Amino acid sequence: MDGGLLVALSCLLIIITYAWMKFVKTGPVFKNDLEIDGKTVLITGGSYGIGKETALQLAKRKARVIIASRNEQRASEAIFDIKSQSGNDMVHYMKLDLSDFADVRRFVRNFIDTEPRLDILINNAGVAVPGMTNDGNDIILATNQLGPFLLTNLLIPLLKSSSDSQHVRIVNVSADLYTIGKIDFGNINLGLTKESPYQQIIQQYSNTKLMNVYFTTELNKRLRSEDPENSSISTYALHPGVIASELGTGAIHNTLMKVGHLILKACFMRPLFYGCQTILYCCLQKGLKEKSGGYFSNMRMRQLKAVATDSETGLKLWKVCEQMTGLTKEEDYFAKSD
Q: List pLDDT tens digits, range 238-287.
A: 999 877 555 544 554 555 444 443 444 444 557 888 999 999 999 999 99
pLDDT at 227: 73
pLDDT at 12: 55
CA distance 257 to 249: 10
* Beta-carbon count within 10 A of 152 CB: 21
pLDDT at 4: 59
Q: Would strands 300-302 and 295-297 be described as parallel, antiparallel, or unpaired?
A: antiparallel
Residue 171 makes CB contacts below 8 A (sequence gap 6+) with: 120, 121, 122, 123, 124, 235, 236, 238, 279, 282, 283
93 is catalytic: no
pLDDT at 23: 52
First to last CA, the chain: 75
Catalytically annotated residue among 205, 236, 274, 333: 205
Ranges of each domain in the chain: 32-243+272-333
pLDDT at 88: 98
202 within 8 A of 269, measured Cβ to Cβ:
no
Report the SS3 class of residue 293.
coil
In degrees and rounded to multiples of 5, residue 53 shows phi and psi of -65, -40
Classified by CATH at the fold level, domain 32-243+272-333 comes out as Rossmann fold (3.40.50)
In degrees and rounded to multiples of 5, residue 100 shows phi and psi of -110, 105
- In the predicted model, what is the mean pLDDT of residues 14-20? 47
Q: List pLDDT tens digits, range 39-98.
A: 999 999 999 999 999 999 999 999 999 999 999 999 999 999 999 999 999 999 999 999
Instruction: State yes or no: pLDDT of 5 exceeds 70.
Output: no
pTM of the entire predicted model: 0.87
Residues of the chain above pLDDT 70, percent: 82
Instruction: State yes or no: pLDDT of 300 exceeds 70.
Output: yes
